[in-house]
Amino acid sequence: MDISTRWYGAAGATVIAAGITARYVSKWRRRRYLRGAGPRDRGPTGSRYYVGLDLTDPFAGRTRPCDVAVLGPDLDCTFEKWDYKPDGSGIVPGRALGRSFIMAVDGPQGLAGAPGATVRESERLVNAPGRTPYDLPEPGKPYSGFIKGSVLLFYRLVTSGSRFRLLGLDDVPPSDANLIEVYPGGAWKIVSDQPLPPKRTVDGRSARVEVLSSLGITFPSSDLPTDDQLDAALAAWTAFRFAQGMAKIEGFSPEIDHAAGAVREGFVVHPLPPDAELEEPYVASV
pLDDT at 45 over 60: no
CA 8/CA 222 separation, integer angstroms: 44
Of 186, 245, 216, 212, give the one whose Cα is nearest residue 73.
Answer: 216
- Greater confidence, 31 or 73? 73
Mean pLDDT, residues 140-158 taken together: 95
In angstroms, the Cα distances linking 40 to 5, 56, 206, 278 are: 18, 36, 36, 12
Q: Are 72 and 49 in contact (CB under 8 A)?
A: yes
pLDDT digits (tens, 9 = 90+) for 77-122: 999 999 999 999 999 999 999 999 999 999 999 999 999 999 999 9
In angstroms, the Cα distances linking 146 to 7, 63, 66, 106, 142 are: 32, 11, 12, 10, 9
pLDDT digits (tens, 9 = 90+) for 195-226: 999 999 999 999 999 999 999 999 989 999 99
Q: Residue 146: is it exposed, middle or buried by C-beta count within 10 angstroms (0-12/13-18/19+)?
A: buried
Q: Residue 40: is it exposed, middle or buried by C-beta count within 10 angstroms (0-12/13-18/19+)?
A: exposed
Q: Residues of the chain with pLDDT > 90: what percent?
A: 75
In angstroms, the Cα distances linking 271 to 90, 95, 204, 231, 265 are: 27, 24, 21, 14, 20
pLDDT for 278 equals: 61
Residue 91 has φ and ψ, to the nearest 5°, of -75, -30
Helices (H) and strands (E) in the chain, counts: 8, 12
pLDDT for 137 equals: 92
pLDDT for 142 equals: 87
Of the pLDDT bands very low, low, confident and very high (cuts 50, 70, 90), residue 285 is very low
pLDDT for 38 equals: 43
pLDDT at 20 over 70: no
Mean pLDDT, residues 12-26 taken together: 31
Of the pLDDT bands very low, low, confident and very high (cuts 50, 70, 90), residue 162 is confident
pLDDT at 37 over 80: no
pLDDT digits (tens, 9 = 90+) for 163-185: 999 999 999 999 999 999 999 99
Question: What is the b/e burial string over 86-116, where b = at least 16 CB atoms within 10 angstroms of the residue's CB?
Answer: eebeebbbebbeeeebbbbbbbbbbbbbbee
Domain ranges of the chain: 3-271
Residue 114 has φ and ψ, to the nearest 5°, of -105, 130
Of 172, 192, 167, 169, give the one whose Cα is nearest residue 247.
Answer: 167
Mean pLDDT, residues 43-69 taken together: 89
Amino acid at position 63, single letter: T
